[in-house]
Structure 1
């Protein structure tokens, strides 16, 4: 892997996981020392992150991690509903039922992963990621899948806002299970309804708990 790719992956994960919080200045010298690469790969990585909207130029301060405001959360969920509700319906029509039946069975057991143990929670997030990937594959629409992947990098940051709320995580697991079950059943309207309900509850929770940085 190229040095710029390594730097990009490391910085991207740190931003998504909130180890680098909104407003953090990402100085090239400091980050190159931290990541063990030269300044040029860091500069390239920061350019890619800025193109994705995870960082932004802040005048004389250099590059900083972008904030997630309530307005931006509303905008993300407007787009998310447009894309994900349609994708769920297409997956129900075009997907392999057995794949989603297996994901449903795993998601039903997901509460067992939702302990206070961080690695266990990462297993849950990985399971949700597999559901996302299965939907992307099932819809057979490259443009829609690419649009959702581009959106998810920001959604993961928003999702982490609820990471300390065990009740919400358990509810979200049940909602994801319902989506997988509807797709496995080949029922587009039920898949749309399950996805719409999940998005509504997720947005309501995030807006109720989010405090601007």
Structure 2
């Protein structure tokens, strides 16, 4: 059966083709334009994106590294499927690390960084007010967390959370969708921001952990689990 890649956008000519191909494929996966199990054919994707195979091959390898794609013997790469048990374990780890990131970021926070976080929240609010779709919400959601972890200055923490966040979004949005979810996420982000703005690392860590903990509750509800 031939796979349609009509949901994947073409890449304009220029530099950093592999990076731009990666960002487009990552967005297509997280926005559910490419669903779990979809084959990632390098020749077909290169044709669709109007670029050569080499940057697409590099982009697919990065998706595999980030856990958003999987290499299947005799079939090649495909969008990762959701493993419920793995997802529960992933969220348990993410809860601790997002809390640590918020704490470290608060300790290094300056006016410019605080202004940037406020700007991201404002853009997220605008997306929701204008009825932006799931993809726009996911992008703003991820930008907020990425901005916080960048402030930590801890390369190891940044790398681990970059990988965990993509897989977490892929799994949760495959299993649980609710019309109020974007608004809930934004409100919880504001609580993290307020704690950081107050210069309170303890409160920032608590707010970040609470945010991910609530996502874990929603995941348990979606999968019918009752254990903590």
Runs (5+) with no aligned partner, structure 2: 1-14
Q: 1:110-135 deviations in whole A, cap 9, x for unaligned?
A: 5563258335971x545434432442
Q: 1:11 aligns with which of 4, 25, 40?
A: 25
CA distance in 2, matches of 1:183, 1:143: 22
CA distance in 1, matches of 2:18, 2:121: 36
- Alpha carbons 1:101, 1:181 under 8 Å: kept: no
Instruction: Give the alignment of 1:39-188 within 5 angstroms.
Output: 39-96=53-110, 99-100=113-114, 103=117, 107=121, 113-114=127-128, 117-118=131-132, 122=136, 124-158=137-171, 160-161=173-174, 164-188=177-201
Deviation for aligned residue 1:99: 4.2
- Higher relative contact order (Cα pairs below 8 Å, separated by 6+ residues): 1
Structure number having the greater helix percentage: 1
Aligned to 1:64, the other structure's residue is in SS state strand
Deviating beyond 6 angstroms after TM superposition, the runs of 4 or more aligned structure 1 residues are none
Runs (5+) with no aligned partner, structure 1: none
The TM-score normalised by the length of structure 2 is 0.75
CA distance in 2, matches of 1:130, 1:3: 21
Deviation for aligned residue 1:162: 7.8
Partner of 1:204: 217
Count matched residues.
210
- Structure 1 pair 190–11 and aligned structure 2 pair: CA distance change class (3 A): same
The TM-score normalised by the length of structure 1 is 0.80
CA distance in 1, matches of 2:129, 2:162: 28
CA distance in 2, matches of 1:3, 1:102: 27
CA distance in 2, matches of 1:58, 1:102: 41
